[in-house]
Amino acid sequence: MWSRVSIAIAVALILLVAIIFRPTDYQSSRQEAKTSTSTSLVQVDFYGESLCPDCRHMVLDVLDPMFKDGTADLMNLHYIAWGKVRRDGNQLNCQHGPDECQYNRYINCAQKYATDQNQWFPYVKCLAQDLGSIKNTYSQCATDNGLNAAQLDTCANGDIGAELEAAAGKATEALSPNLTFVPWIVVNGVSIGSSFEELQRYVCAATTDIDKRPAACSDLVDALKHMG
């Protein structure tokens, strides 16, 4: 984990890049996922994999608390489900096998049809609860969170799912610096590397809506309290 000084420097860079950078074509196309596009939100891109234990940790232990304490309201979260896929000609080999490729498509499809991140994230959280039982729970996870299970099936197993998969792969392979592990978290265009567990601090510091910071942001270390 990074030192407090390193985190402070990194957040400062994120804030600078937020001013300089504008959304890429791929970022603009993500509006189809119906997430908020408010420019006041901190853009958080989560590059991961459906069956990755570390991504499960990211979902359950890092992101879920942010949704519970209100920090998630400061960000526009996008989960690019692809990860460390290896290409063998036209064949895609997901790190944790073909089932991972399949559920990556479900995650990408859920974001397309959900009304916002407050609907699709609980679905992803549900999938992550027990990776070993995902085949038995993915449909119920959709129904329980207001998503159309049949619609997700059609998407994940059809042309739309394939298109979303290709877009996720293109975005992941275009990362600079290159993705070397997952979860790979990018905040306002800047990778935060191995400090992904510090995401809440980055979001609290990077938000431009200082008055909307929830009480959870007041727990920031001294080096970050007055940034942003």
Cβ neighbours around 191 below 10 Å, total: 21
* Residue 116 neighbours by CB under 8 Å, 6+ apart: 34, 35, 36
* pLDDT higher at 9 or 177: 177
Read off the CATH number of the domain in which 52 is found: 3.40.30.10
Q: Give the DSSP H or E segment for 10.
A: helix 4-20
- C-alpha triplet 54, 55, 61: angle, nearest 5°: 85
Q: Is the pLDDT of residue 82 over 70?
A: yes
What pLDDT sits at residue 112? 98
Domain that includes residue 115, residue range: 4-225
Asked if the model's pLDDT at residue 54 lies above 90, the reply is yes
Q: What is the DSSP letter of 57?
A: H
pLDDT band at 151 (very low <50, low <70, confident <90, very high): very high
- With left for phi above 0 and alpha for psi between -120 and 50, is residue 23 left, alpha or beta? beta
Q: In the sheet that 184-187 helps form, which strands lie side by side, from edge to edge? A: 75-81, 42-48, 184-187, 190-191
Alpha-carbon span 138 to 155, nearest angstrom: 14
Let me know: does 92 contact 59? Beta carbons within 8 Å: no
The reported pTM is 0.83
Domain tally, the chain: 1
Looking from the CA of 56 toward its CB, the CA atoms found within 13 Å total 13
209 falls in which pLDDT band (50, 70, 90)?
confident
